[in-house]
Structure 1
Amino acid sequence: MALRFGPDVSTAETAYGTVLLDERTGDYWELNPTATLVVTTLLQGGDEAAAADALVARFDVDRAGAERDVTALVRELRESGLAR
């Protein structure tokens, strides 16, 4: 499923990944390059399988590990209220 950030979430790409700011709480999140790739893939309309494919293609990670990481990141972003 594609991902969308809430209207109160600002993003900024850095040399080390992406920073998210939850403007409601003032909390910052720093996404490393692998999490940035997952989020970018999902924001562009890809699903979790496509995000896992992107991780396997770009980083030295096995498919099962990529799937677990994508699922965990998406769950955490949604549970935190940053994403829908």
Structure 2
Amino acid sequence: MALRLGAHITTADTEYGTVLLDQRSGEYWELNPTGTLILRTLLDGGDEQDATDALIAEFDIDRSRGSKDVTELLTQLRSCGLVS
């Protein structure tokens, strides 16, 4: 099952990345380019491995770092109720 944003979450692209707004609470989160790439890959139907591969290709980092970044962002997005 592909990752989806909560129905109450809107996004806006910025020069630096992406902003996520929780319309229920008014809270917002700003994702840097790394976070944006992870989120876009997952929203487009990719899995955690695809997001890690995208990070490695875009930012020339090692696999363990990429995998850790993906896992940490997903954990934060889920704990804040931004994605399902």
SS in 2 for 1:11: strand
The letter of the residue matching 2:34 is T
**What are the ranges of 5 or more consecutive residues in structure 2 without an aligned counterpart?**
none
Deviations 1:8-66 (A, max 9, x none): 00000011000000011100100000000000000000000000000000003110000
- Specify the alignment match of 2:46 in structure 1: 46
- Specify the alignment match of 2:60 in structure 1: 60
The root-mean-square deviation of aligned C-alpha atoms, in Å, is 0.9
CA distance in 1 between counterparts of 2:67 and 2:3 reads 16
TM-score, length basis structure 2: 0.96
Q: How many correspondences in the alignment? A: 84
**What are the ranges of 5 or more consecutive residues in structure 1 without an aligned counterpart?**
none
- Specify the alignment match of 2:15 in structure 1: 15
CA distance in 2 between counterparts of 1:2 and 1:59 reads 24
TM-score, length basis structure 1: 0.96
CA distance in 1 between counterparts of 2:34 and 2:10 reads 19
SS in 2 for 1:67: helix
CA distance in 2 between counterparts of 1:17 and 1:6 reads 19
